[in-house]
Amino acid sequence: MLRAERSPRLRTALAADLDAFRQTLTRGIARVLAGQPESALPDPQAAASLVMATFDGLIIQWLLAPEQVPSGRLIADTLKRTVALAAVNSEPIDAL
Give the pLDDT mean for 23-29.
Answer: 94
Average pLDDT, the chain: 86
- Residue 62 is predicted with a pLDDT of 94
C-alpha–C-alpha distance, residues 14 and 65, integer Å: 25
The domain of 64 spans 2-95
pTM of the model: 0.72
The model's pLDDT over 50-84, given as tens digits with 9 standing for 90+, comes to: 999 999 999 999 999 999 999 999 999 998 888 78
- How many folded domains does the chain comprise? 1
Total Cβ atoms within 10 A of residue 45 = 15
